[in-house]
C-alpha cells in the first residue's frame, strides 16, 4: 500500500484480501446480519456449530441466511488472535482465523474459522467455503477416532496423496 | 450417486478424503518425516510457526522438506479434537483440524491446522495449502489490528466481496 496507483486495479496479496474481507464480514455480521448471506453464492457451503455442539451445514443462500440469523453467537465482535492467508488455486485465497467470541449464554468461546474466497464474476470474491470450529483446549473430546484405530478403513480407501510415496508397500 | 457401482472408482466424500489424508499425513510425519515433503508439489505453500512464534512460509519442495525436518514439534502425534472437511472448487477438499501437540520443550500447544487438498495428475490429491496456527486462548496477542483501526485501509482497497452489497454507500 506504499505506492498509490489508485486508477489501476492493484495486485492484491492474499493478506490484503483477507484483511479487507474480515473487516467487512464481521462488520456486516454484527451490524446487518440480514445482509450477511450476500457474501456467499448458491454453490457455497457454510458449516457452523449448533447450540448442542454439533456442526450444521448450509448449502443454499436461503439456508445460509437462516443459519446466520439463528447463530449461537451473541454478537459478532470477535477478538482475533491470529489471521493467516495464502493464495490458492484459480486465483482464490484461503484464510484461517483464530480468536474468541461470546455465545448467547455469555460464555467466551475460542474458535478457529476457515474461509475459502473464490473469484466471482464482475470482480472481487465470494465465500465458497466457511467453517467454524469451537476450540475447547481443556476438554479433549473423542470426536475423531484415534489414528491407530482409523488405519484399516483408511487403507481400504487407497487414495493416493503423493506422486510416489504410496505406490510401494510402505 | 446413491447407487453403488463398486467397480468404478468410488465417489469419495470430503470427509473420506480428509480422514484418509490425516491418517497418512501424521503417520508419515511421525515415522518418516524425510518423506513428508512428497505430500506437496512445487506450487504448494506450507506455513508453520517458528520457535519465536513467527510464521514461516515454504514454497518449494526443498524448503518444505527443510521446514519439516526443522519443525518445533517434538513428535507428530497430535491429539485431534475436531476435524471438518468440505468439498471446494475444482474437485478439491478443504479441511480444518484443531488439536494439541507437544513442542521440543515438552510444552503442550493447542493448534489449528488448515489444508487445501487439490487433485493431482494420475489421481489422488496433493497438499496445495497448509498452515498451522498455534492457539493460545489465555494470552490474546495483538497480531491483528482491531477491526475499527483497520477500517480506513480496508475501504481504500475497494474489493467487492458480494454481488451487490457494497455497490451502495453502505
CATH code assigned at B22: 3.10.450.50
Instruction: Please state the rounded mean pLDDT for residues B60-79.
Output: 93
Q: What is the mean pLDDT of chain B?
A: 82
* pLDDT tens-place string over residues A26-62: 999 999 999 999 999 999 999 999 988 899 999 999 9
Q: Are A61 and A42 in contact (CB under 8 A)?
A: yes
The boundaries of the domain holding residue B94 are: 14-139
Strand partners, B21: none
Judge whether A151 lies within some domain: no
Nearest CA in chain A to B138: A110
Give the pLDDT of residue A103.
87
Judge whether B158 lies within some domain: no
Give the pLDDT of residue A166.
36
A24/B120 CB distance under 8 A: no
Answer with the residue of higher pLDDT: B80 or B141: B80
ipTM above 0.90, yes or no: no
With 70 as the cut, is the pLDDT of residue A147 above it? no
* C-alpha torsion sign, points B145, A123, B88, A72: positive
Confidence category of residue A10, pLDDT binned at 50, 70, 90: low
Chain centre to alpha carbon of residue A50: 16
Judge whether B154 lies within some domain: no
Distance CA A126, CA A21 (A): 10
Judge whether B45 lies within some domain: yes
Judge whether B117 lies within some domain: yes
Answer with the residue of higher pLDDT: A58 or B143: A58
Distance CA B94, CA A42 (A): 18
Residues of A whose CB is below 8 A from B32: 170
Judge whether B150 lies within some domain: no
Instruction: Please state the rounded mean pLDDT for residues B109-127.
Output: 95
Work out the percent of chain A whose per-residue pLDDT is above 70.
Answer: 76
Considering CB atoms only, which of A26, A81, A94 is closest to B141? A81
Considering CB atoms only, which of A24, A28, A86 is closest to B154? A24
Distance CA B163, CA B160 (A): 8
Judge whether B146 lies within some domain: no
Instruction: Please state the rounded mean pLDDT for residues A20-25.
Output: 96
With 70 as the cut, is the pLDDT of residue B130 above it? yes
Q: Are B71 and B42 in contact (CB under 8 A)?
A: no
Residues of B whose CB is below 8 A from A23: 147, 150-151, 154
Distance CA A162, CA B41 (A): 9
* C-alpha torsion sign, points B114, B95, B41, A166: positive
Give the pLDDT of residue B57.
97
With 70 as the cut, is the pLDDT of residue A152 above it? no
Cell numbers for B69, please give them: 525436518
Considering CB atoms only, which of A17, A89, A112 is closest to B90? A89
Number of domains chain A contains? 1
Q: Are B98 and B78 in contact (CB under 8 A)?
A: no
H or E element that contains A79? strand A79-87
With 80 as the cut, is the pLDDT of residue B19 above it? yes
Judge whether A61 lies within some domain: yes
Q: Where are the beta strands (DSSP E) in B16-78?
A: 40-49, 55-58
Cell numbers for A54, please give them: 454439533
Give the pLDDT of residue A53.
83
Answer with the residue of higher pLDDT: B154 or B15: B15
Q: Are B92 and B128 in contact (CB under 8 A)?
A: yes
Distance CA A151, CA A35 (A): 44
* pLDDT tens-place string over residues A63-76: 999 999 999 898 88
Amino acid at each position: 500500500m506504499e505506492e498509490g496507483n489508485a486508477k489501476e486495479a492493484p495486485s492484491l496479496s492474499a493478506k490484503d484480501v483477507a484483511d479487507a474481507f474480515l473487516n467487512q464480514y464481521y462488520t456486516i455480521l454484527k451490524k446487518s446480519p440480514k445482509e450477511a448471506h450476500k457474501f456467499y453464492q448458491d454453490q457455497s457451503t457454510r458449516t457452523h456449530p449448533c447450540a448442542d455442539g454439533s456442526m450444521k451445514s448450509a448449502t443454499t443462500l436461503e439456508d445460509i441466511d437462516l443459519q446466520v440469523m439463528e447463530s449461537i453467537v451473541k454478537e459478532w465482535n470477535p477478538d482475533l488472535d491470529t489471521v493467516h492467508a495464502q493464495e490458492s488455486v484459480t486465483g482464490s485465497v484461503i484464510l484461517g482465523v483464530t480468536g474468541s467470541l461470546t455465545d448467547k449464554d455469555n460464555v467466551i468461546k475460542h474458535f478457529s474459522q476457515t474461509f475459502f474466497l473464490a473469484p466471482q464474476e464482475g470482480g472481487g470474491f465470494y465465500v465458497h467455503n466457511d467453517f467454524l470450529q469451537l476450540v475447547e483446549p481443556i476438554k479433549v473430546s473423542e470426536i475423531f477416532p484415534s489414528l491407530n484405530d482409523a488405519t484399516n478403513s483408511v487403507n481400504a480407501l487407497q487414495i493416493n496423496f503423493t506422486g510416489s510415496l504410496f505406490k510401494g508397500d510402505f
